[in-house]
Amino acid sequence: MTRRRISILGATGSIGQNTIDLIRRDSKAFDVVALTGASNISQLACDAIDLQAEVAVTAHQDLLPDLKSALAGSDVEAGAGQTAIVEAATRSADWVMSAIVGAAGLAPGLAALEAGTTLALANKESLVCAGGLLLETARKNDACILPVDSEHSAVFQSLVGEDIESVERIIITASGGAFRDWPIEKLAQATPEQAASHPNWSMGQRITIDSASMFNKALELIETKEFFGVSSDQIEAVVHPESLIHAFVGFRDGALMAHVGPHDMRHAIGFALNWPKRKQLPVERLDLAAIGQLNFRVPDEKRWPALRLARDVMDRGGLSGAVFNAAKECALDGFIDGRIGFPKMAEVVEEVLNSINPSHIDAKMTLDNVEQADHVARHAARALIEKRAG
Ligand code: NAD
Ligand code: MG
Tens digits of per-residue pLDDT, 8-57?
A: 999 999 999 999 999 999 999 999 999 999 999 999 999 999 999 999 99
Closest by CA to 339, choosing from 273, 267, 388, is 388
Q: Could you tell me if the CB of 104 is within 6 A of ligand 1?
A: yes
Q: From residue 136, give the alpha-carbon distance in Å to each of 107, 145, 198, 225.
A: 14, 11, 36, 15
Which CATH architecture fits 317-390?
Orthogonal Bundle (1.10)
Is pLDDT at 203 greater than 80 in this prediction?
A: no
Q: What is the mean pLDDT of residues 185-214?
A: 90
Q: Could you tell me if the CB of 149 is within 6 A of ligand 1?
A: yes
Percent of the chain with pLDDT over 70: 100
Is pLDDT at 220 greater than 70 in this prediction?
A: yes
Poorest-pLDDT segment among 78-82, 148-152, 204-208: 204-208
Q: Which ligand is nearest to the CA of 221?
A: 2
Residue 329: partners with Cβ closer than 8 Å, 6 or more residues away: 102, 103, 378
Fold of 4-147: Rossmann fold (3.40.50)
Q: Which ligand is nearest to the CA of 265?
A: 1
Residue pair 360/313 in contact by the 8 Å Cβ criterion: no
Q: What is the mean pLDDT of residues 246-260?
A: 98
Residue pair 360/372 in contact by the 8 Å Cβ criterion: yes
Rounded Cα distance between 209 and 286, Å, is 27
Q: Could you tell me if the CB of 207 is within 6 A of ligand 1?
A: yes
Q: Which ligand is nearest to the CA of 84?
A: 1
Q: Could you tell me if the CB of 108 is within 6 A of ligand 1?
A: no
Q: Could you tell me if the CB of 59 is within 6 A of ligand 1?
A: yes
CA of 259 to the centre of ligand 2 (A): 13
Tell me which of 64, 101, 127 to substitute to probe ligand 1's pocket, judged by most ligand atoms within 8 Å of the beta carbon: 101
CA of 103 to the centre of ligand 1 (A): 10
CA of 124 to the centre of ligand 1 (A): 10
pLDDT band for position 366 (50/70/90)? very high
Q: Which ligand is nearest to the CA of 97?
A: 1
Q: What is the mean pLDDT of residues 322-350?
A: 97
Is pLDDT at 340 greater than 90 in this prediction?
A: yes
CA of 165 to the centre of ligand 1 (A): 33
Domain with CATH 3.40.50.720 in the chain: 4-147
* C-beta contacts of 192-200 below 8 A and 24+ residues apart: 192/335, 192/336, 192/338, 195/335, 195/342, 199/175, 199/241, 200/175, 200/241, 200/242, 200/243, 200/263
Is pLDDT at 157 greater than 80 in this prediction?
A: yes
**Of all atoms in ligand 1, which is nearest to the CA of residue 203?**
41
Q: What is the mean pLDDT of residues 228-254?
A: 97
- pLDDT (0 to 100) of residue 196: 93
CA of 153 to the centre of ligand 2 (A): 9
Which residue's CA lies nearest to atom 32 of ligand 1? 123
Rounded Cα distance between 142 and 132, Å, is 15
Domain with CATH 1.10.1740.10 in the chain: 317-390
Q: Could you tell me if the CB of 211 is within 6 A of ligand 1?
A: no
- pLDDT (0 to 100) of residue 390: 63
| Partners of 259 in the β-ladder | 247
Rounded Cα distance between 122 and 63, Å, is 25
